[in-house]
Amino acid sequence: MKVIKRNGSEIEFDPSKISQAIRKANTEVSDKDQINEIKLALITSEVTEKCRDLNRAVNVEEIQEIVETELMTAGAFEVAKRYIRYRYDHNLKRTRNTTDDVILALIEQNNEEIKQENSNKNPTIASTQRDYMAGEVSKDLTARVFLPEDIVQAHNEGLIHFHDADYFAQHIHNCDLVNLEDMLENGTVISGTLIERPHTFSTACNIATQIIAQVASSQYGGQSISLAHLAPFVQASREKFRTDYGQLLSYMSLDQYYDFIETLVYKDIVKGVQTIQYQVVTLMTTNGQAPFITVYMNINEAPEGQEREDLAAIIEETLKQRIQGVKNEVGVWITPAFPKLIYVLDENNVRPGSEYGYLTELAAKCTAKRMVPDYISAKIMRELKGDVYTCMGCRSFLTPDRFTDAGVGNIANAGNYEPEVHKYYGRFNQGVVTINLVDVALSSGGDKEKFWEILDERLDLCYRALMIRHERLEGTPSDVAPILWQYGALARLKKGEKIDKLLHGGYSTISLGYAGLYECTRYMTGASHTDPEGTPFAIEVMEALNKATAAWKAKEDVDFSLYGTPLESTTYKFAKCLQRRFGVIEGVTDKNYITNSYHVHVTEPIDAFSKLDFEAQFQKLSPGGAISYVEVPNMQNNIEAVLAVIGHIYDNIMYAELNTKSDYCQVCGYDGEIQIVEEDGKLIWECPNCGNRDQSKLNIARRTCGYIGSQFWNQGRTQEIKDRVLHL
């Protein structure tokens, strides 16, 4: 068993240190209040057992709290008082800012918690360490300067989670839909250099990757671009090639000439798509990671005719290249984490024999091998939102456009603004605060009347925290991120102009996240939220959250929206906080993770189609963003089954994905599923063929929170991955 020290480093658990600390306290009380060695040994044994029962690494503070509890339970009150006093005195002696210790441990690669905080960051490289160092300073400032004490306390205790505190000190936002069309068609500026309209598709793709990198370095969340914005530049390539090679008409027939031109166009498409594929996975932003980029593929986003056919060719090539993958350091084709792909299902591509059905079949093959694309049902999305558009990153959806219909006008000064057309590209999310529903339930003790009272109190905390996020962005000058606010990614504001008008009236959103609906329902009703005994309560909770965001929206004229939080490191944090506050409760706090948003618990047996049907009702109640998944085995030889799931998604749920495995061991060449094994209370990845446990020589890709992770995970998320059951 491991112990996490205050600076984040790990050491082996040593019961003798517990005995030693108790013995010191014991010697400082009178003889009549002292405990004997037998009782001391029993208390040490009980503390050790309770630590082991947590089935994870424990931190020093947790051990000390368990020691205090066991001393009190044993009736050793004076010893407990002296132990508490000893602990308090030593805390006072730690006068140096603890942020210093965390940063120093990080630099020396001893801080295990931060090293595993983000499965898309390599914590050993300098750029990531630089970002983490800045993040620790930002967290410290946020806690001491920007947030009131009760919100900091609620965050630390796991009642709520104030997301991305490591970037909060800066005036930057979460995620967005990049207005790539405006930037390519009307030009942009990157690092003081004017970038004019490109003359070929491949050049447009190259510029797009530069834009992606610049945008990623100016915010902290995901971004999405649409392939439809690149499609017009296929025609630009076609026209350029016709001009460049017009003289060949003297030597070949018209049909031969056009075939030759189309061959050049196809090669340019291949080159352009390859640029996006390789540039994205090799770019390194100032955040120390590849850009969190989503590529949106909606065949109906392009007008009918040549432009739609060109978009179809781009989508086809994108899928083909993703199926192939990218080569790792030893030259083996593996699954890249980015870009994330989203494929829109509609009547002209989802049915067998439909016009673009061949693209959907190719998408199914890609999903079976590389876990992407994910699927948006145009039919269900029109029912729920009235429009079809992509999410920002893994799952965060904008609210439907209401300002265009209200005649607000072109407040972003976009170069591609159309008065009667709903606007989504150029809009963004201001940030997220998540409520821990499990803690609300446990704090109520199962009393439903008290549950609703506590929920209201916690929602008020979230509201105030979200308003602090909003107010932090107010007054931000466009100069903070020129690529975003001045040169078209989100707006074309003047230098020095503030972004305030983009924060109100629905142009941007701000999200109330929620986590642990399953555990909350289980505790309050005794049943899973999939059980008819539990479902009504789960729905009632969701409706209460939506009612709260609607009230905040009406009060502030800001689009608050309910968001199914994609917990990564926070799932572990919440679980540890719950165990610390309430102990280990079977079916509720007995795991080192809590469930993402509304999802069916990962251990619960359910078939893929039933899972999608059940979760669809919760997607409807998560308008700020949600994604469902089904866990499947290797499906490369069963594409018909993949297509069956895809067809079910189209008819029943707005946004879903299929999770498979894609691993490789560099030591022995094994390309099956890398296993998770336990050693001394810690979960470790191991090649089942050769026993390799060296993470630097394992290529593992798993869906973590909508994104694919490839840099390994914290212990809570690793246990969640290990516990997943198949749905097909």
List active site positions. 174-175, 392, 394, 396, 429, 563, 568, 706
3-state secondary structure of 195: strand
Closest CA to 572 of 617, 515, 615: 515
Contact by Cβ (8 Å): 695, 712: yes
Question: How far is residue 658's CA from residue 412's CA, in Å, rounded to a whole number?
Answer: 37
Paired strand residues for 630: 658
Number of other CB atoms surrounding residue 556 within 10 Å:
16
> CA 201 → CA 63, 119, 236, 300, 629, distances in Å?
60, 33, 7, 19, 34
Calpha distance 87→70 (Å, rounded): 15
Beta bridge partners of 632: none
Answer for the pair 180, 230: CB distance below 8 angstroms, yes or no.
yes
Which two structure tokens, joined as six digits, stand for 468? Answer: 């602090």
Beta bridge partners of 530: none
Give CA–CA dist 298/518, Å, rounded: 33
- Ramachandran area for residue 194 (φ above 0: left; ψ -120 to 50: alpha; else beta): beta
Our CA angle for 661, 663, 668, nearest 5°, is 145
Q: How many residues does the chain have?
A: 728
Sequential DSSP letters for 314-383: HHHHHHHHHHH-EE-TTS-EE--S-SEEEEEE-HHHHSTT-TTHHHHHHHHHHHHHHS--EEEEHHHHHH
Neighbour-count burial of 371, counting CB atoms closer than 10 A to its CB (0-12 exposed, 13-18 middle, 19+ buried): buried
What region, left, alpha or beta, does residue 57 occupy, with left being phi > 0 and alpha being psi -120 to 50 degrees?
beta
Q: Rounded to whole angstroms, how far apart are CA atoms 621 and 562?
A: 8
> In terms of DSSP H, where are the helices of 560-709?
569-582, 608-620, 639-652
With beta carbons less than 8 A apart as the criterion, state whether 166 and 136 touch. yes
What φ, ψ does residue 175 adopt, rounded to 5°?
-135, 170
